[in-house]
Each structure stands twice: as C-alpha cells, then as structure tokens.
Chain A
Amino acid sequence: MKKKITVFCMYFLMVFTVIISVFPILWVIMSSFKTNAQILGNPFTLPTSISFEPYIYLFEKYDFLRYAVNSFLVCITSTLLSLLFFAMGAYVIGKYRFPGKSLIFALFTITLLVPSHSKAQPIFSLIMKINLYDNIWGLAVVYLSMGLAMSVFILKSTFMSIPSSLDEAARLEGAGFLRVFFQINLPLAKGGLATAGILMFLNNWNEFFYASLLTSSNKNRTLPVALQFFTESFSYDYTKLFAALTLVVLPGIILYALAQEQVQASVAATGVKG
C-alpha cells in the first residue's frame, strides 16, 4: 500500500513537471493560430483552422526578419570567435606548463562570482567610448566576453583528455605549435567545443539585459528586446503577439532538441545556467 502511494506521488510529480514546462509554450503556439475573438472568448479551445497569416504579416509588414537576422549575426559571430579564443586559452592551460598558469586560471574562474549585471555601467561606458552604442557589433563584443569561465572550464578538461602522445608524435614529424593545435587537438575536441558553443549560443540568443541596455533604435534590436516592443505595437492583437512569441521561442527549443544530451550533461557538470 505504502509503495503504491509512493509510486502515485512520483508520477503525479512527473506529470506536474511536464505540464508546467510545456503547457505554457503549447498554449502560446496554439493561440497563435486562433483569432483574437477566439483567444478572448475561451483560452482553452483548439484553433478551428490553421493559418500562417500572422506569421507572414510579422515578416512582411513588420521588421521581424531584421530582428532575427540581428540576433543570429550577433550570436553566431560572438559564439564562434569566443569559442576560438577560449579554446586557445584552455588548450595551453590544459596542456602546457608555463609561469603564471595557475594564477591566470584562478582569475578566469573567479569571474564566475561576479554577477554580470553588476558591471553594467562600466561596460555601458566602454561601449559608448568605442562608439558602438546602438550597434549590434557593440553587443557582439559584450557577448564575446560572456561565458569565459564556463567555456575555459569545459574546454580545459576536454583538451586534457586528449593524449599528449599524439602531440609528441606530430611534433616528431615536424609539426609546429600551431599545427599541433589546429590539426591535432582542435578536431579531437569536437565534443567539448560543441557543448561550450551551444551553451554560449543559447545564452547569447536569450540575452536581454545588455541587449536592451546597449541598443536604442528599432533597426538594432535583437529578438528578446523586440518582444518588449511587440506588446506596445500590437497592444490588443493577441494573435500576432502569440505568433511573435512562438517565433522567438522556437529556435532555442529546436537547438536544444538537436543537442539535448550535451546541454544536459554540461549543465549537470558545471551547474551553470544553460
């Protein structure tokens, strides 16, 4: 009897978790296919017909494409560049001995303790000073710096797990430092690079605080920031609002669906928000 109750509670908790996690999103997607009257009339009914008209409207009559392109450009450039930079750093920290190594690694790790919001003013002023305020590349520069500690962490252990005998062999064949890195180590670190890259991309894609602080004009908004202004422009056109929300949310979910194992494993290992 007692066992039955435990089992029941377990399933209850699991069903509860699944519902609170996906139902809000399903509701949003479903509502984007309903008319305004249907949404206001009864929030629970299924849509009567499937129409992509609000989606087409967002792309054709509204700057949605521009926001999506902005988001994508900022995220992909900053993620790829920082991945290369942090991989280079993590590689030498993980595989070589040189004076100051532990100090540098300790400094990188300590950055985890600094809430990124608390540095808002100096970063805001820095971006102003280099004339990149209200410019998506200013945002890209800031995103470049995020995820330093986490990525170096993940990548350092990846590089350490690649046997040094491979490097030795390559060196005996006459390969220089750069070739050992780019042709031997980097290809073998694919797993770690994917994990760190996906986490950084997701974080950048979803970032709102700096995106809203560092941009002001319509043409430089990223998707999360644009969301804030949708509410004003479509104040009572809920169908379009829900369609916009769907479009903002879906890419992250798709990326997660494709790389779900990596995301989960790295979150479990680092305890850092994915």
Chain B
Amino acid sequence: MKAGKSNSTVLERRNYKWCYLFLLPSLLIFLLFYLSPILTVIATSFTKWDGFNKPVFIGLKNYIDLFHSKTFLISLKNLLAWSVIAATLHVGFGVLMAFVLYAKPKGWKFTRVIFMVPNVISAAAWAMIYKFIFNDDMGILNNLIRRFSPDFHVQWFFQSPYAFWAVTCTWIFYAVIVTLVVLNDLMAVPEEVVEAARVDGASPWQLTRHIMLPLCRNAIGTGVICSITSRIAMYEQIRLTTAGGPGDDTMNIPLILVNSISDMKYGYANANGMVMFVLGLIILAAVNITFRMNDSIY
C-alpha cells in the first residue's frame, strides 16, 4: 500500500463514491426546495410575472409598490409592534419561567411538561380554540366579564382596536421554547460559579441579576431570534381568526404573500418573500450584536 502523502487514506478515497451517494438525496432536496426557490424569489422579485407568461424585468417597481401599499405598511407596523412585544413581554415571561423552574419548586417538572402542550398541537387548532374563547356568545372570556357587567358585548377578533390584541393573546404567554432553551443554559452553569458568588455574600437577587442572567445571554438571544422570526412567519393565528381584519388591522406579510399568489401576482409575492427573508437576517444580526452572542461565555 502506498503510504499517503496526501491527507486522505486509500480507504477514505474509496469511500468518496459512497459518501456522495449518501448525500445525494439530501443535496437534491436542498437544491429543489431551498437553493432554487431562494434564487427564484430573489430574481423574480424584480419582475412582473403571472406564472404563465415570461417574467418581465421591472426593476424595483414591486418594492416601490410595496412601500406605497397601505396594507403592507400596516403589516410592517404590526410586525414592529409584535416584535417589540415578543422581545420584551414574551421572552421576558419565558425567561422568568426558566428561573422559576430552575429553583426547582415542587411540581416544576410537571409544569415544564404541561407548558409544552400548546406547542405540540397545531397552530391552526390553537387559533380556533382562541377564536372560541374570545367568542361573544359562548366564549369563556365574555361570559366571565358578564358576571360582573351583564351588558358587556365585544367581538374581540372583529372589532378595532381589540383585534390586534386578541391575536397577540394567542401567543404572548406561550414562551416554552424560550423557557427550555434558557433553562438548559442555567442548568449548565458550573456549580463552582454559584458557590463562589454565594461565599462572596451575593444575595439571591444579585446572583440572578449579575451572574446567572449574563451567563445565559446566548440562550436569551436565541429565544429573541426564535420569537421574532415566528412573528414574521405568523400565519394561522391570523388567517383562522381575523383573516387580517377588521380593515387591515391585523395584516401580516405572509397573508399578503398568499393573497398575491392567489391573484397571480408572483413577482409581487416574491418581493414580499424577500422582505421576510431580509427582515429575518436583520433580526439575526441585530440580536447577535446586542447579546454579543459570538463571544464565548466562560
């Protein structure tokens, strides 16, 4: 056998064929469902295209139209508001629950298991459940309120300005992903660090604020990214409750995208897709910088 001057051994080289063969299905999936769609979205977002005729290059017109469309501007405003709520209240509640569970009070495991349930059922079903909870006739909420104020009637999902908040309610407290990711990091904090702080006389509050919280900033950053990107992609919770109404009160970019596909305005639809994609990247970069996620922690 020729001892290898190169880095790879004979056995390895003989396996190349198999390696590429094994990667073939995944690579095909990547090409067909990731790479080529993304390139199509980028390219055709600068065209007028109905899917039958050839796309016609129109420069930035789709984007200009987008930023002149009232529906799109409302969607952006909604997205901004939802992102702020997600990054503060939603993630805040998730982190708070992580610290509660970290203290391991009686029943913490049970709570952790149960908290996950809304996330394992379909967002479509969850949206329907909330539609019923907020229903004026038989919903829990209004019936509860009517115990105290018998003439109370509000159609939460169909009246401005409540609709926005009703949609927000379907996700605001369901922050189990944040909780699990942060809890995972908290549990990984070395015993010595906690011990050392205690010996130095740190109160539980100081320990939490100055040691534990900074130590799990990566997990919190991940939580912020996940929760804001799910706001960008939020679809079922809106389609099945308000369908974007009343007026355009609860519109979101994926709804515009789907509507444009049904209207055969493919170029315009893809300009929306581009906006979603770019917004996602901006969020990722911004959170990475804010939370210094690339610096190592220990």
Contact = CB atoms under 8 A, between A and B. Distances in A.
A11 B111 CA distance: 10
B122 A14 contact: no
B115 A17 contact: yes
B156 to A, nearest CB: 15
A92 to B, nearest CB: 4
Interface stretch (B60-68, B71-79, B274-282): B274-282
B126 to A, nearest CB: 8
Interface stretch (B23-31, B83-91, B189-197): B23-31
Contact of A14 (B108, B176, B229, B232): B108
Contacts of B162: none
A17 B114 contact: yes
Contact of A10 (B105, B143, B222): B105
A119 B117 contact: no
B261 A98 contact: no
B143 A113 contact: no
Given A28-B132, A228-B240, A142 B33 contact: yes
B118 interface: yes
Given A10-B105, A43-B143, A97-B8, A274 B119 contact: yes
B261 A271 contact: no
A110 to B, nearest CB: 8
Contact of A144 (B29, B123, B235, B258): B29
Contacts of B44: 121
Contacts of A14: 100, 105, 107-108, 111
B41 A118 contact: yes
Nearest to A223: B122
Given A13-B97, A114-B38, A126-B37, A121 B273 contact: yes
Per DSSP, chain B at the interface is helix
B123 A96 contact: no
Chain A contact residues: over half helix, strand or loop, or mixed?
Answer: helix
* Band of interface residues on A: 35 or more
Contacts of B251: none
Interface stretch (A46-54, A57-65, A187-195, A201-209): A201-209
A242 B132 CA distance: 9
Contacts of A268: 180-181, 183-184
16 contacts: A10-B105, A17-B173, A39-B138, A82-B29, A89-B25, A98-B16, A113-B284, A115-B277, A117-B273, A118-B273, A120-B254, A121-B40, A121-B44, A145-B32, A260-B113, A271-B177
| A-B CB proximity, top 9 nearest | A206-B122, A89-B26, A145-B33, A122-B37, A118-B273, A85-B25, A268-B184, A119-B37, A224-B124
Interface of B: 7-8, 12, 15-16, 18-20, 22-23, 25-27, 29-30, 32-38, 40-41, 44, 51, 96-97, 100, 103, 105, 107-108, 110-126, 128-130, 132-133, 137-140, 143, 173-174, 176-177, 180-181, 183-184, 204, 219, 222-223, 226, 229-230, 232-233, 235-236, 239-240, 254, 257-258, 261, 266, 269-270, 272-274, 276-277, 280-281, 284
